[in-house]
Structure 1
Amino acid sequence: MSTIYCLVPSEYWQQFAERRDYVPRDYDEEGFIHATKGEDLVERVANRVYPDFEQELLLLVIDESQVTAPILYERAKDGLLYPHIYGHLNKEAISDIRKMRKAAGAWQIGESCCAP
């Protein structure tokens, strides 16, 4: 399984509990869903994007081969390639949901928390 990851605030994720697909808040503006590849990069991105976020943050663990929308790997401002999902994320592709936890002011990947 080729795994990619997507960060989402828990409060926002809750509104998709009964829906087939997930769409982030900034989808209309961005035109795609931001994702990352590699656990070390997830933590780096979480600390860059959510440095002062104090609520619960979740990590969607996604089986890339199950995503029905096109995925393009594109270079970001930091020079790294990131997977971008160009369409809604079908929830069948989510294999796990994990809590992110803050330790010493930095985000780290935590335990599985809920069913996809």
Structure 2
Amino acid sequence: MPTIYKVCPASAWREAERQGAYSGSADDRRDGFIHFSTASQLPGTLTKHFAGQTGLFLIAIDADELGDALKWEPSRGGELFPHLYGELDLGAVREIFDLRTRSDGSHDIPELPK
């Protein structure tokens, strides 16, 4: 089972839990899909889009649970990134990690399967 990851403000994730599904961030909704990263892509995603941000969760998702709505498409440097065209069903979530922010603005990434 491949695992993909979503970085999300804790407050937005708690709202998704109340709603029963996650429809994505403002950037996701603008782009028409929910952006995810693989474990190896995660450091670059955090640096580019979340540097210095606090109060973040890292959501681990079973990619197989997302079906045909999950597409692998070129993004940074042509590398294929997972994009979900639709809402994230919370039943696909395998684990939620609290991302700690270091004093330099980077984040402590838990040990994740690649």
TM-score calculated relative to the size of structure 1: 0.83
Identity rate, percent: 26
Higher RCO, Cα 8 Å, sep 6+: 2
Runs (4 or more) in structure 1 with deviation over 4 Å come to none
Letter in 2 for 1:89: L
Q: Who is 1:56 aligned against?
A: 55
Letter in 1 for 2:56: L
The answer to which structure has the higher strand fraction is: 1
Deviation larger for 96-105 or 4-13: 96-105
Q: CA deviation at 1:104?
A: 4.9
Secondary structure of the residue that 2:45 maps to in structure 1? helix
The answer to which structure has the higher helix fraction is: 2
Secondary structure of the residue that 1:7 maps to in structure 2? strand
Letter in 1 for 2:101: K
Question: Counterparts of 1:30 and 1:108 in 2: how far apart (Å)?
Answer: 28
- Across the two proteins, how many residue pairs are aligned to each other? 109
Q: Who is 1:28 aligned against?
A: 29
Secondary structure of the residue that 2:109 maps to in structure 1? strand
Aligned counterparts, 1:1-116, within 5 A: 1-26=1-26, 27-38=28-39, 40-53=40-53, 55-68=54-67, 70-105=69-104, 106-110=106-110
Secondary structure of the residue that 1:78 maps to in structure 2? helix
Deviations 1:5-24 (A, max 9, x none): 11101121121222221111
Pair 1:57–1:14, CA change in 2 (3 A): same
Give yes or no for contact 1:69–1:87 (8 Å, CA) kept in 2. no
Letter in 2 for 1:84: H
- 5+ long unaligned stretches in structure 2: none
